[in-house]
Structures are given as structure tokens and as C-alpha cells.
Amino acid sequence: MLKSIIGKKVGMTQVFDDKGNLIPVTIVEAGPCVVTGVRTAQKDGYTAVQLGFDDAKEKNLNKAKLGLFKKNNIAPKKVVKEFRVADVAEFSVGQEIKADVFKAGDYVDVSAITKGKGFAGVIKRHNFGMQPTTHGQSDRTRARGSSGGQGPQRVFKGMRMSGHLGNEFATIQRLLVVNVDAQNNVLLIKGSVPAVKSGTLFISNTLKKIPVVQEVKAGKAKKK
């Protein structure tokens, strides 16, 4: 079964659970996606399903991508991505994948290009601590300090310094799906996800271990 989908970040809001607890959630337009290709072990050496999301104009696609859609008689899509699956027997080109592949209570990993924030210092970029705000240090409180030591007097590659922040591919793992609106293809995911508003999201079943919820009844803990 395919537990993956391509979506678009709409924004954030808050909802209340059955106990009245406030939960911050991200609204995600999840699909509908179209199966644009099926990869088999016999032909490709691996099994995967290729999904397309969000309609595109033909003039904005190159000939290679446009040829793929015309060959399969599918409307052009802006985003195309493959997702690995164990068995592709139940999938066919042109099949539609909707948000109902997930249900409330599922845990997902969300990947996207993070929001670009331009040039940033080490405090904002790497969470460094500030220097002492003593007399004579008014212009050094947010500086990173010395780069060298008693060893070779050079700066080693990979040291954490000021530089470009954001605009990189990132994944946030094990996020809870609070609610699924299958009719409108909307997911409510607890917490924040990468990407700007209207940015593309790649959502898959989590690879991390799902936490065990315990209920205390009559002095005994029971696992769900």
C-alpha cells in the first residue's frame, strides 16, 4: 500500500481535541495526485510509483517531461516524484491518489525546501551563545569569537560560521496527522512543516518508531 503523497502548504491554524487541548496544526492540500509511472523490478530493477501533482502549462515544461505526459495521456504536472513501494501490482498509470491514504493518528515524515532567510550570523544560524555584555564589549556580543587554536593556524573546512540560512531540502520526522478531510483532500498535521506558503511538500509514512501511548486505569498502565 502506498502511504505517500505530494501536497502544498496552505498555512497554520489551531484546533481542539476531545479533551479541550489546543493543538497547533499545519493545513496541507494533499493531492489529488496522478500515477504518471510505475517502476517494476523486472524492467527497472526496483519497485516504485511515480506521482504527479499540480497542473502545469505545456509551455512551461521541456520536451522530455511533456513527452512523458503525452505518452501516457495525462495532463501535464508541475511536480513529479517517485515513492518506493514493496508491491506495484495494485497501481496503474492514470490512477488517482487522494488524501485518504492517511488517517487521523498516523505519523508522517514531511520533506520540502525550507524558507530562505538570507545571510545570518552564528547565533541565529547555529544557535551559538552570546559573548559577555561587559564594559568594552558592546560590539562583540553576537560575534562568533576566535576561529583558531594552538594547533595549525588555519580555518578547517566545515566550521560553523555566518552564512546563508535556509533554502535547503529538509525533512521533519514523526509528525502526527490530527485530521483528514478526504472530500477536500486536506490534511491537518500537528506542528510546523518546512516550506513557505504554497510550497510543495513530500509526505510519507514515518521511518521512525511510533511512540507508545499509555493509559492509566485502575492503577494499571495499559498500552495501546
| Stated pTM of the model | 0.82
Of 99, 92, 101, which is closest to residue 73 (Cα–Cα)? 92
Helix (H, G, I), strand (E, B) or coil at 90: coil
Helix (H, G, I), strand (E, B) or coil at 223: strand
Of 118, 123, 116, 117, which is closest to residue 161 (Cα–Cα)? 123
Prior bond of 32 cis (ω within 30°):
yes
Three-state SS annotation for 20-75: CCEEEEEEEEECCEEEEEEECHHHHCCCEEEEEEEECCHHHCCHHHHHHHHHCCCC
Please tell me the predicted confidence (pLDDT) of residue 186: 93
Please enumerate in sequence order all residues whose Cβ is within 8 A of that of 86, keeping only pairs 6 or more positions apart, or say none: 47
On the question of pLDDT at 172 being above 60, the answer is: yes
What number is the average pLDDT over the span 217-221?
A: 53
Domains in the chain: ranges and CATH: 4-115+169-223 (2.40.30.10)
On the question of pLDDT at 153 being above 80, the answer is: no
DSSP 141: T
On the question of pLDDT at 218 being above 60, the answer is: no
Percent share of the chain, pLDDT over 90? 45
Nine cell digits for residue 181: 478531510
| Sign of the Cα pseudo-torsion (63, 64, 66, 68, in order) | positive
Please tell me the predicted confidence (pLDDT) of residue 213: 63
On the question of pLDDT at 223 being above 80, the answer is: no
